[in-house]
Amino acid sequence: MRLKSNLPTKICPVCKRPFTWRKKWERNWDEVLYCSERCRRNKNSVLTKQSEE
């Protein structure tokens, strides 16, 4: 059994918040980039903000 404190984390490139491993991401954790569907949909707005700077 895994302790929740020992789960891997990543930083979402859109909202810059940490998010932790979820059971549904078990098979493709390496490919997961965004913490939520909302951030995944808004990924282009972040890219345009970065290019403006």
Report the pLDDT value the prediction gives residue 43, as an integer from 0 to 100.
Answer: 85
Return mean pLDDT, the chain: 85
Segment 16-25 shows an average pLDDT of 93
CA distance 13 to 21: 16
Report the pLDDT value the prediction gives residue 51, as an integer from 0 to 100.
Answer: 59
**Whether the predicted pLDDT of 32 surpasses 70:** yes
**Whether the predicted pLDDT of 23 surpasses 80:** yes
Contact of 38 with 46, CB cutoff 8 Å: no
